[in-house]
Amino acid sequence: MEKNVKISMLLNIYGKLLTEKQYESLDNYYNSDLSLSEIAENMNITRQAVRDNIKKGENKLFEFEEKLEIMKRALETDKKINNVLSELTKLETNSSDKQVQRVLNHIMQELSCLV
> In the chain, what are the domain boundaries?
3-68, 74-114
Number of CB atoms found within 10 A of residue 83's CB: 14
What is the rounded average pLDDT of the residues 88-100? Answer: 73
> What is the longest distance spanned by two Cα atoms in the chain?
68
CB 30 within 8 A of CB 82: no
Predicted pLDDT at 115: 57
Considering only the top CATH level, what class is 3-68?
Answer: mainly alpha
Output 115 or 95, whichever has higher pLDDT.
Answer: 95
Query: How sure is the predictor about 95, in pLDDT bands with cuts at 50, 70 and 90?
Result: low
Give the model confidence (pLDDT) of 33-88 as tens digits: 999 999 999 999 999 999 999 999 999 999 999 999 999 999 999 898 888 878 87
